[in-house]
Structure 1
Amino acid sequence: MSVITKKLHELADVFSGYAFRSEDLGEQGIPVIKIKNVNDKIVYKQCDQFLPINFVTERLKKYLLQNDDILVAMTGQGSLGRIGKMINQKEQYIVNQRVGIVRPKVEDASIAGYLFSVLALDEFEDRLYSLGAGAGQPNVSAVDIGNLDIPYLSRSSRMFIAKIRTSYDALIENNNRRITILEEMAQSLYREWFVNFRYPNHEDILDADGKQKLIDSPLGEIPEGWEIKYIKDIGFINTGKTPSKKKEENYSSRDIPFIKTPDMHGGMFIIKTKEMLSKVGADSQKSKYIPNWAICVSCIGTAGVVSISTQISQTNQQINTFIPKSKKHTEFMYFSFKSLKQTIQNYGATGATMTNLSKGKFEALEIVFPEESLLVNFHRITNPIFKQIQVLSSKNENLKQQRDILLPKLISGQIQLKE
């Protein structure tokens, strides 16, 4: 059965965000959405530039994010074609010029959710990417986006498909909220014990003035009995490597997860990787295998991203993987690496445009290391929290896979819908 199509610009207004001057942006005001914020959803804390509220003139109001807006990354290797939508928008946002805005026409209430369901399909991201490929910096224009052909089903089918997408997204978002709460609980405990030094029975160790006993260290004052350790003293470091791309047999669709920095942006755990190695490709560099529950830290390019592996995997050369000598140190070291983000970026600064922290410099990073009994206690409390986060993250990946198998079949007419 042939499916009627319409151009996207017939169903929505399509335009790019506003070209802000860097001197107009600051650290307070309305968050500015950039390419890196565009994905399945946008999280407020990810925005790192803001437009002062008094800068929002009548002319700029067009670029304020509206509830039904769909966002498209318009440029960038690896980012072009990504689709995003705010879920449960509570804050006001404004969009910059490298992000396209697809604003559904208001005449038909069935269009908004349906358009997001269509544009969020992998085939549309691939189509946009192929449109912009060929240049050193791939990009598309708002006109290119507006000229996309969109399957135009009956109104009842559009509403049904939008409802299916919304139902899946609501389940995923509910799990994301639970993950956020769980991680904040564990991180608050880490901060209380290992940053503020208010760990259990800390008040029992006081000096003559009734203050907590602290001693000087290269990283500032720390409690008695604690020490400063190098990363290499706490675990083993494995720097990844990319097998030859010239040998097709090195890559597969199912064997060994091949972790790259974009795979680590999904949260605490790396549930899925975009690329996989074959057993042949992975075995060609056997020393690069990393175990389940190893801590991956990006050290080149976008440095300081931290995630935990969930399978036997390998990584590319931009990632140093930390394998703790004791599994009871895993949760503590995860938050320790998170707290080292700025240090990693500073140590990796070479004067070039890209941050690059070598394995040697990574191993020589120092952290405050507490008494073993505290680490064991922290592990006992937080390990079940980490495991629950992994379970919820896996559930989300399963929901996404179900959604992304079902929706293309509904939209293409492969699964027939009765009116």
Structure 2
Amino acid sequence: MTDETMGTMELKKYKLGKILELQRGYDLTYTEMQKGDVVVAGSNGIIGCHNIEKSNTPCITVGRSGSVGKVHFYDGPTWAHNTALFVKDFKENNPKFLYYFLKNLHLDTMFGQSSSVVPSLDRKVVHSLTVPFISDISKQQRIAYLLSDYDKKIELNRAINHNLEAMAKQLYDYWFVQFDFPNEEGKPYKSSGGKMVWNEKLKRDIPDNWDASNICKVADILSGGTPSKAIATYWENGNLPFFGPTDYNGNIFQIETADHITQEGLEHCASSLFEDGIIIITARGSIGKLVIVGTPMAMNQSCYALRSKKEEFEYLYFLAIQLVECLKAKGSGSVFKSIITSDIENSILCIADTHTITHFCEKVKPIFQKVKENTKEIVALTKQRDELLPLLMNGQVSVNYDLSDD
């Protein structure tokens, strides 16, 4: 390959098969993937583990069937499952650069939406694609370094959030499940002999002055709705986030959504504009997922919202998790098809006294605030990275060498 000049000049194009070589992953049974020290990657992530033979380090996979076209990168030894293609030969290119390069091709959009025509991704078809490519290895390294920095910071924020949530959850369980909240002397209530009273509704002992009731004792239930898709002015150039179950991404706080509506659209749908701190629970589709509204947004009819009566959403969030667990238990632990208002109203939970709830929220409020700040930063960094990726890959912008020179 010959070199090309970065900037606004057009890059030289190559057949993808000249840039890298893909190979189908290995046929592994379910039993074989339950042993060994090396992870097995399928079309959309890690699905098991196996022994170290024939593993690849690093490993780039492209979904062959299932999540067609999805691209993943693994630093350590990795087996590729037969539901994925993997890069067998990097052709002396920077592996991390090739990962970002493949992501920028959007093979999932190119082939995944035509699954009825292309049930699986043929590596020969991928190899035949003609694409612009930066062949200069030093430029590849600088681009890979810059984009990796974005990903590292995003993953660090996610790890911090995971730990912070675990800390808050641990305190909640200690206070509201084990009933060892601080008594008047600051000692663990139940462990220190605090008065426990049998509750007939819950069929167990609960702290004195606590109650057995539904979540409506501390929250209002709100519904959503969708403005007509047939009226363009409800949707075009909308700037109000509009949440649906598919927007759930695993974060505690919901900051952005795929769809947006206009103010006119908001005025013509059953949903209110929900403020920060309201809990959304998905009721159909992806059922029982919880998020805290992190920026004002509306929601569709496949969700319910829980609004704390005293703006103590931190307690309400974990209580709502218990509500979902209760609903799952009623469904014999299996996946339930939907949640309706009566399901929420008929689920009896142990509700703490107002003093303990307020004390807990004061304790964990800084934790939730930090999680929210980190989530907003994740959204901003992801947007910056995704906007920068095509510009770098198309040679429209270049990376200053000093940025990647330690």
AA of the residue aligned to 1:2? E
CA 1:287–1:349 in structure 2 vs 1: closer, same or farther (change >3 Å)?
farther
Taking the aligned partners of 1:199 and 1:277, their CA distance within structure 2 comes to: 44
After superposition, what is the alpha-carbon deviation per residue over 1:186-233, rounded to whole angstroms, capped at 9, x for unaligned?
1110111111111112868679x9576342343333222111121233
Taking the aligned partners of 1:365 and 1:96, their CA distance within structure 2 comes to: 43
AA of the residue aligned to 1:84? H
Asked if the contact 1:350–1:356 (Cα under 8 Å) also holds between the matched residues in 2, the reply is no
Greater per-residue helix proportion: 1
- Tell me which moved more, 257-266 or 25-34: 25-34
Instruction: Show the 5 A alignment for 1:196-207.
Output: 196-201=178-183
Of 305, 308, 314, the residue aligned with 2:298 is 314
CA 1:241–1:140 in structure 2 vs 1: closer, same or farther (change >3 Å)?
farther
Larger Rg computed on CA atoms? 2
Of 108, 125, 128, the residue aligned with 1:128 is 108
Structure 2 portions without partners, runs of 5+: 1-8, 402-406
Of 24, 27, 34, the residue aligned with 1:15 is 24
Give the number of equivalent residue pairs. Answer: 387
Taking the aligned partners of 1:359 and 1:25, their CA distance within structure 2 comes to: 42
Taking the aligned partners of 2:330 and 2:35, their CA distance within structure 1 comes to: 24
Of 112, 120, 135, the residue aligned with 2:95 is 112
The alignment status of 1:377 with 2:365, answered yes or no, reads no
AA of the residue aligned to 1:187? K
CA 1:162–1:245 in structure 2 vs 1: closer, same or farther (change >3 Å)?
same
CA 1:148–1:17 in structure 2 vs 1: closer, same or farther (change >3 Å)?
farther
TM-score, length-normalised on structure 2?
A: 0.81
AA of the residue aligned to 2:318? F
Of 366, 382, 396, the residue aligned with 1:400 is 382
Instruction: Show the 5 A alignment for 1:12-411.
Output: 12-16=21-25, 18=27, 20=29, 38=45, 56=50, 66-73=56-63, 81-86=69-74, 98=83, 100-103=84-87, 105=89, 108=92, 110-121=93-104, 124-125=105-106, 127-134=107-114, 140-143=120-123, 144-153=125-134, 154-201=136-183, 213-219=196-202, 220-328=204-312, 330-345=313-328, 347=330, 355-411=337-393
Taking the aligned partners of 1:261 and 1:120, their CA distance within structure 2 comes to: 25
TM-score, length-normalised on structure 1?
A: 0.79
CA 1:254–1:7 in structure 2 vs 1: closer, same or farther (change >3 Å)?
farther
Taking the aligned partners of 2:319 and 2:132, their CA distance within structure 1 comes to: 49
AA of the residue aligned to 2:154? I
- 1:5 aligned residue: 13
- 2:3 aligned residue: none
After superposition, what is the alpha-carbon deviation per residue over 1:275-319, rounded to whole angstroms, capped at 9, x for unaligned?
111222222115443222211111223222111111221112222
Asked if the contact 1:348–1:357 (Cα under 8 Å) also holds between the matched residues in 2, the reply is no
CA 1:69–1:243 in structure 2 vs 1: closer, same or farther (change >3 Å)?
farther
CA 1:275–1:335 in structure 2 vs 1: closer, same or farther (change >3 Å)?
same
After superposition, what is the alpha-carbon deviation per residue over 1:296-343, rounded to whole angstroms, capped at 9, x for unaligned?
111223222111111221112222111111112x11121122234443
Taking the aligned partners of 1:384 and 1:294, their CA distance within structure 2 comes to: 17
After superposition, what is the alpha-carbon deviation per residue over 1:145-193, rounded to whole angstroms, capped at 9, x for unaligned?
5555443212121111111111111121222222122111111101111
AA of the residue aligned to 2:98? L
SS in 1 for 2:280: strand
AA of the residue aligned to 1:267? N
Q: Percent identity?
A: 22
Structure 1 portions without partners, runs of 5+: none
AA of the residue aligned to 2:264? V
AA of the residue aligned to 1:366? I
